[in-house]
Amino acid sequence: MKLKIPSAKSHLTAVEAPQFTAPDGQILTLHIPSSRRELGAAWKVLEEYTARMAPNPESALQDLDKLTDVLGYHSSDSGYLVFTAVNQDGKPVAVAPAQIVPLSDVTERKPFQDISIGLVYQIGHTPAISNNDQDFSVASRLYESVISTMPKLLRQGSWAGTVTESRKEGPELEAILNAGFYVLVPNSYYRPPAVQQENIRNPENKVTNDLVLLARDIPDMPHAGLVAARAYVKLAYGKPVQPTLNLIGQYLLF
């Protein structure tokens, strides 16, 4: 089975879809939604997971955009892909929206031209596949499948690793660390803005304060971590993010 990539993008190509086994024995397959109906089903998994994990109802608005907004942000050639793990009925049980980004889009530094990076924006799963959010092994396997698949989708250029974010503690963080990630920017230096500012009434919820930025396979070259971290914040939040970038710089340039 090949991954079906909607709105064929010039810098992506199809690859074999990985499969893995869930704790309950189900065979899950990596899949990219190719219709609005499939995308809506995947986004519902994310919305429900985000609401369950949020410390308060307004906090959930910090983490996840509305689907209609997301569709407006990304053109057909933006490299934005919603990866899902689907069961044998084709229903999504875990979701990880991601984007493949040429670093030339976010930096003019010559060493980073003709290099792309993967950004995984969220993770979510259903209560049924996770024993009511107690077992995050499917989330780990989905991360592993996504980060192994994204470099294979490139038509040209080289790969500079993957960046994602997580709550600063708890099973979600452990699941991502189990997929081979490490903390790139700790919580004390990572304060991105809420993605839905207009719906936030409590000022404390306008800036996140419980996240960390994580990375995997970032090349060992000067400023690579800084470029990767800044790429994530600029693409993930799309708001005035200079205070966040300044804070990250204080940590990674120290």
Query: Domain spans of the chain?
Result: 19-252
Of the candidates 201, 139, 128, the residue with the CA atom closest to the CA atom of residue 166: 139
pLDDT, residue 112, reads 82
Q: Give the span between the Cα atoms of 39 and 49, in whole angstroms.
A: 16
pLDDT value at residue 107: 82
pLDDT computed for residue 137 by the predictor? 96
Report pLDDT for 9: 56
Question: Burial level of 13, CB count in 10 A (0-12/13-18/19+)?
Answer: middle
Cα dist. 14→17, 32, 78 in Å? 9, 11, 16
What is the pairing mode between strands 158-167 and 115-120? parallel
pLDDT, tens digit, for every residue of 186-215?
Answer: 999 999 887 666 666 777 666 778 899 999
Confirm if 145 and 20 have CB atoms less than 8 A apart. Answer: yes
Distance CA 162, CA 254 (A): 22
Give the residue ranges of the chain where pLDDT is below 70.
7-11, 58-65, 67-78, 195-200, 204-206, 254
Cα–Cα dist 51/123, whole Å: 12
- Give the per-residue pLDDT at 53: 86
Question: What's 19-252's CATH class?
Answer: alpha beta
